[in-house]
Amino acid sequence: NFMLTQPHSVSGSPGKTVTISCTRSSGRIASNYVQWYQQRPGSSPTTIIFNDGQRPSGVPDRFSGSVDSSSNSASLTISGLETEDEADYYCQSSDIDNPMVFGGGTKLTVL
């Protein structure tokens, strides 16, 4: 089984840009799509990025996703930080034996 490792927490000021990394422990990151989910306190998760870098309708283009094969990791970048972005963020991917593996989650604090 592979793991997805995320930083426990990140922070940024309103208007700034933050990036959350998601590193795959084994297997190639580019072999399977990466998704990102946002979970605000007390709410269920919502999908903000699918298929590495696609945004569902209604998700602002301040949110972007990418994959870097050289570091075997994916990244979620949030630009123009807003206070409402304060939430937990989870990456997720898969392989043939593991349909859905989630990262441990990153708590974003908007200072």
Partner 1 sequence: EVQLVESGGGFVQPGGSLRLSCAGSGFIFDNYWMVWVRQAPGKGLVWVARINMNGKITQYADSVKGRFTISRDNAKNTLYLQMNTLRAEDTAVYFCATEYVQGVDHWGQGSLVTVSS
CA 44, CA 76: separation in Å to the nearest integer? 19
11 or 51: CB nearest partner 1: 51
Pick from 44, 57, 70, 83: which binds partner 1 (CB under 8 A)?
A: 44
Pick from 37, 67, 84, 108: which binds partner 1 (CB under 8 A)?
A: 37
Stretch that binds partner 1, among 11-19, 37-45, 66-74, 77-85 (CB under 8 A): 37-45
How many binding residues for partner 1 (CB under 8 A)? Answer: 23
Pick from 17, 25, 46, 69: which binds partner 1 (CB under 8 A)?
A: 46
Q: Which residues contact 104 (CB under 8 A, 6 or more apart)?
A: 4, 5, 6, 8, 90
- For 31, list phi and psi in degrees, rounded to 5: -75, -25
63-92 residues in contact with partner 1 (CB under 8 A) are: 90, 92
- For 95, list phi and psi in degrees, rounded to 5: -150, -175
Query: In angstroms, how far is CA 71 from the centroid of its own chain?
Result: 15
Contact 92, 100 (CB under 8 A): yes
Residues lying near partner 1 in the complex (CB under 8 A): 32-33, 35, 37, 39, 44-47, 50-51, 56, 90, 92-94, 99-105
